[in-house]
Structures are given as C-alpha cells and as structure tokens.
Structure 1
C-alpha cells in the first residue's frame, strides 16, 4: 500500500515521522509519498536526501502551495498501490494506528474509507470550539455520522478516491463523499499529539470562511446523486 503525506514547511517534523512509519509498517510492502506543497524551509531537500537511505520513500513537489486537498490528490495520483493511508506531515498524527486502519480495509471488501477521530485535541480552546461547531453542523446537514473529519489519519481505496469529485478542502468531506458513492465507512479513535516544530498553516477564521460554501456545495452534490447500476460488458461466447 501507499502512505501519502501532505506537507508544507515540515522539514523538522518529517524525518522522525518517517522513522515511526517505517517501524509501524515493518514487514509490510509499502511506499511513502511526501507531497511538498510549495515549502520554503528546505523540506524538499531534507526528504530528497532521505530517499538515498529509504528506498520506499518518494518525493513529489508542488511548485507553489495549493492546499492540503490538492497535495493529497497529487499523492494519490502518484501512488502505485490500491490501498492508500493518509497522515499529516506535522507529526501530530500517531502512525501507530496505520496497521489497524490498513487491516480494516483489507478485511472488509465493502469498506471504502476508515476515518481517524481524535479523542483529545491539542489546538487552542477557540479552535476546538469552532471545530466542534463546524463538525456538528456538517454531520447534521450531510448525515455522515462522523464527529471529526479534519483528522489527517485516513485509509481509502485508491480507485474509490479517484472517483470522488475534486475541489479545494474536499478532504474535510471524505465520509459524505464516500457514502455518496455507495461504500461503507468506519471510524477509529486516534491520539492527537503536540506539534514539535513549526506552526499550523491555518486559523479559525480562514477555515470557517472557506468551509461554509463548501459544506452547502457538498450538500448539493449529495442531493443530485443518482445511483448508477452495476454494469458488465457483454461478449459472445467463442464456443458458439
């Protein structure tokens, strides 16, 4: 499977995170794709140097910052494996949960998405309150039964992801979009850790201003969904 890691200015956080990922996925054939979203702190140079030591590590770089959803999309498009694990590059997501999320996808062919849900947040009180309000509104309007869609820990089938409509901030609506495609979703409680290096790339106001229009846009997408029946190519039996 492929681990996709969106990152912007995370030169200090990525090396120890990659070491943890390697430890957690020991014995598993995998690749990790770091998508450098236009960093200017030397993230690309740090990761490129590590690729000499870590044959499973790949670097893809955006010429300029395009946002987390775009970075995830780039990573998935470059991925070689049918199963995708997603984890943020800031080190706040704990890779210890990756094996369990992978196994959940492997064990259930009807499961399209596994969503991490943080038990305890290390954000400011204001950001936590704003997030709780936004998650409550989203869950009520979209019916995705997910209390925390912003957690970076997710597992998804590559083919399914590529069927989803792409738009900025779509990563916050994965559960609703996956349900829209007729797949099942599952949740797993995960640990949120304190950021060691750098700072968050967004605040409360900018996230809220973008989130509301997208929320109603996804609601519209759900309302316009029409189920497409399964199809099978018809062929003439060669023996007849």
Structure 2
C-alpha cells in the first residue's frame, strides 16, 4: 500500500526533542488511519539536529528529510515540506510536540469533506503572556481575513496537497494557512485538540513577533487577496 499522508516536521535547533519525536511519530504511524510517512525539514539548525535526523531516517524507512543550507524561517520550512510532498494529503506538526500526533486521526476523519482541517489548542498549557498575545494576534488576523478560525497558530493541520502546493509563499505564511485555502475557494474546519507544555528546547517566537508580525502580515495578506489569481479549467482540447 502506497503512502497517503505526509507529516511535515520543521526543525530548528531541536536536538533535545528529536528522539521523542521519533518515538511518538513511530507510535502514531502504527495507529494512523492513513498510510503515513514523516518528512523532517531542517531549517539550518546549528546544533546536532541534522545528525539526529539522519540517524532517525536511517533507522526508520517511514522517515525522510530535507535540509536547508541556512536558516530561512518556519514559513519557508513548511512551504518546502509541502512542495516536497508526493501524497494526496499533507500535515504539519511542530517538533516540540506540544500537540499530540494521535490527534491527526481526528483531523483526518474530516478531511474528505474539507480541504484544510486545523486543530484548536484546548486548555493551552502556555504562559499567561503567551496565551494572551496569541489571543490578540488571532483577533487581529480574523478581522482582516474573516476566516472564522480561533487558533491558526496551532501546529497541527491536515491539508489536501493540491491546495497546499498552491499556497503563495511569504514569511508569516504559517499564520494564514486557512485564509490561503479560502482564497482557492476551499473549505476549512477547526477541531479541538490536546495541548501540552514544552518539555525541552526553546520557543522560537516571543511576544513581539506574535503581535507585530501578524499585524504586518495582515497587510501583506490583503495585498495578496486583491492580486490573487484563481481559475478553474472547464474544458481541455
């Protein structure tokens, strides 16, 4: 049976988390509702992440990787993962594992009727400041995009690959994935998922880039929405 679902795992200096990622995603592959493989995207890590990734992929035929020459950011890593996917469905999870791989099955249950299904972090286990800044940022984004999503920063998503590959690339993209599917006249849905504290490694986003980044990116989104080209072929000769 060929693979049906690819999980993209962006990695930037996550050497302390990668063994746990291997264990948890291996467990998930064994219970996944779709035949699943994992694609690490090493975003120019400066620690031992690449060595660990290569070791994991050598030991597990369901794991593979691509590695950037230098750090390009989360949006670039996600986009590269989408563009290097050859399955009909693609998902995304952070390597800090603050969300649970088994919750992919909740999203996969709905993906036939939708083009993107995203998690909403229930009972978030982050600090008050982090939760509040995310709430404000999501409110700003909803005002601009009208996507109806409560938590686009949730690092647990499933997308039909044909839609994922058509998402225009720009920095901050990871905050606008549902809105980008709507631009393609796709259907989106959100589902509550589990959330856990970060066990190891360091968070890559602070208060300011959770607030100022989304605000600036909203204007980029409005420009893109105005200029976006969307068409459907009715007939071929």
- State TM-score, norm by structure 2: 0.91
Aligned length: 231
Bigger Cα displacement from structure 2, 17-26 vs 129-138? 17-26
1:6 pairs with 2:10: yes
Indicate the residue corresponding to 1:130 in structure 2: 133
Kindly indicate whether residue 144 of structure 2 is the aligned counterpart of residue 141 of structure 1.
yes
Report the RMSD for the aligned CA atoms in angstroms. 1.6
2:73 corresponds in structure 1 to 67
Q: Does 1:104 align with 2:110?
A: yes
**Match in the other structure for 1:25:** 29
CA distance in 1, matches of 2:204, 2:128: 17
Spell out structure 1 runs of 4+ moving beyond 4 A: 224-227
Given that 1:9 and 1:43 are in contact with CA atoms closer than 8 Å, whether structure 2 keeps it comes out as yes
- The 8 Å contact of residues 141 and 214 in structure 2, kept in 1 or not, is answered as no
Which of 139, 156, 160 is the matching residue for 1:157? Answer: 160
Contact 1:25 1:99 in 2 (8 A): no
What's the CA shift for 1:188?
Answer: 0.9
Question: Do residues 50 (structure 1) and 56 (structure 2) align?
Answer: yes
Contact 1:37 1:67 in 2 (8 A): yes
1:81 paired with 2:81, answer: no
Unaligned runs of 5+ in 1: 235-240
SS in 2 for 1:72: helix
Structure 2's unaligned 5+ residue stretches are none
Looking at structure 2, the residues matched to 221 and 185 of structure 1 have their Cα atoms a distance apart, in angstroms, of 19
SS of residue matched to 1:163: coil
Q: Which has the larger radius of gyration?
A: 1
- Give the TM-score taking structure 1 as reference length: 0.90
Q: Is residue 167 of structure 1 aligned with residue 173 of structure 2?
A: no
Whole-angstrom distance in 2 between the partners of 1:178 and 1:39: 30
Residues 202-213 of structure 1 aligned to structure 2 (within 5 Å): 202-213=205-216
